[in-house]
Amino acid sequence: MTFLKKSKTAVPAIATITLIALAIVGFTYAHWSETLWLNGKVTTGTLCAEFVDVSNKDLGLDWNCDDGINRFWQIDKDIGSTAVRIVNKPDDCNDTIEVTMNNVYPSYYENIEMHVHNCGTIPWKIVRVNFTTPYEQKSITGVAYLTLDMSGDGKADVEIKWGNSFGMQVDPCHEVELSFKIHVLQNAPQDTAMSFTVTIIMINWNE
Amino acid sequence: MVATLTYTLTDTDKDGCNDTLTVTLNNAYPCLTVTGTIDVTNCGTIPVGIYNYGYTITDPKGVANGIELQNVDFYLKDPQGVKHPITIPIEQWIKTVNQIDSGWSLVCEFTIHFTEDTPQDATATISAWIEFWNWNEIQRLPTGGLS
C-alpha cells in the first residue's frame, strides 16, 4: 500500500516536471506551422551611348560647295583643314565631338561622319542634337538646316545640314552612323579660330 | 526583349510542397509594366491561417522610389478553380476570416509600373515570409492571428 501511495503522487509530478522542462527548452505543442518564403530581386538597366569614332572628308585637297550645301566639289589646293576629336567627359562616356576648323575661308566645305555605340543594356533613340559655340547653342530635333555664329559678331559664319537620324532605335551593342555637312559662309571673319562641339541626347526607346 | 523575368519554386524542407518563391527581374527600365500572380495553395489536410508575415528590403540606390503599385487584388480559389473574391482589405481579412481550407488557394494578382524615377544600374532585393498555423489555433489568439 505504501508503494501504491507513492506511485499516485510520483506520476503527476514527473509529468509536471517534464512539461516544465519542455517549456524551458522552447517546445510548443499547440499548433502546427508552415512558413513560405518569397525572395525577389530587381535589377535595372543602363542607358549608355558613346562616340566610338569620328572622321572628316577633308584629308588633303579642299572641298568647296555652294550656298545651301546642294553641290560640292574638290579643288586643287590644300588650304583649310578640319580637326575632329571625341571628348571624354567625367562620366566616362565619350559623348561630345569637338570640331575645329583651321585656316578656312568662304565656300569651304566639310563633312563629318561619326559612329555612335549603344554601350548600355536598354535600346535608345536620338531625340536632340546640340551644337555649341563659345557664343551660342542651338538644338535640333529633326532633319535640320541651321547656322552658327562662331565669332561672336552676331552673324552666321557656317551653315550646317543634319540628316534624319532621329527616332531610330539602336539596340545594345549596336552602332549607328551619323553625319552632317558644314559650309563656311561669306560672313565668316578672317583670322578667327572657329570651333564648336556636337552633343547628342538619347532617351530609352520606349519613351 | 529588353527586360527579363524569371522565377523558381523550391521545396526547401522536402515535404512535397514548394515553400520558397524566388523572382528575379533583370534590366528593368522606366515605363516597364510587370503583372504577376502569386498562388498560395493549402496542400495539406488541415485548414490554415496566416499567423504572421514580414519582409526585409535591401535597396541602396532607391529602386523602390521608381516602382508604382498600380493594382493588387486578392481572392480565394477553390479546388475547382472557381474564384471567390475577397471584398475587404486583406489586412482586415487576415484579422477576421483568415482561413484557407485544404485544397484552396489564396491568390494575389498585382501590377507594378516602373516610373521615371527608376535609377539606372541598380539592384534591389526583397525577402518576404508568411507563417501559417492551423486555423483553429489562430482563432484563439486575441489579435486574430497577427503577433
**Cβ pair B29:A38 closer than 8 A:** no
Helix, coil or strand: residue B71: strand
ipTM for this prediction: 0.84
C-alpha cell at position B54? 514580414
pLDDT for the residue A28: 47
Contact status of A28 with chain B (Cβ, < 8 Å): no
CA dihedral (B21, B26, B30, B34) positive or negative:
negative
- Measured between beta carbons, the chain B residues lying within 8 angstroms of A33 are 51, 131-134
CB A187 within 8 A of CB A159: no
Q: What are phi and psi of B16, to 5 degrees?
A: 95, -5
- Measured between beta carbons, the chain A residues lying within 8 angstroms of B114 are 44
**Cβ pair B123:A39 closer than 8 A:** no
Closest Cβ opposite residue B137 in set A31, A43, A46: A31
pLDDT cut 70: percent of chain A above it: 84
pLDDT for the residue B96: 87
CA distance A20 to B95: 32
Mean pLDDT of A33-61: 93
pLDDT tier, A25 (very low <50, low <70, confident <90, very high otherwise): very low
Q: Does pLDDT of B147 surpass 70?
A: no
Mean pLDDT of all residues belonging to chain A = 86
Identify the weakest region by mean pLDDT among A86-95, B70-79, B108-117: A86-95
Q: Does pLDDT of B13 surpass 90?
A: no
Q: Does pLDDT of B41 surpass 80?
A: yes
DSSP structure class, residue A30: S
Pairing of strands B48-58, B83-85: unpaired
**Cβ pair A36:B38 closer than 8 A:** no
pLDDT tier, A6 (very low <50, low <70, confident <90, very high otherwise): very low
**Cβ pair A207:B30 closer than 8 A:** yes
- Measured between beta carbons, the chain A residues lying within 8 angstroms of B100 are none
pLDDT for the residue B110: 94
Mean pLDDT of A10-19: 61
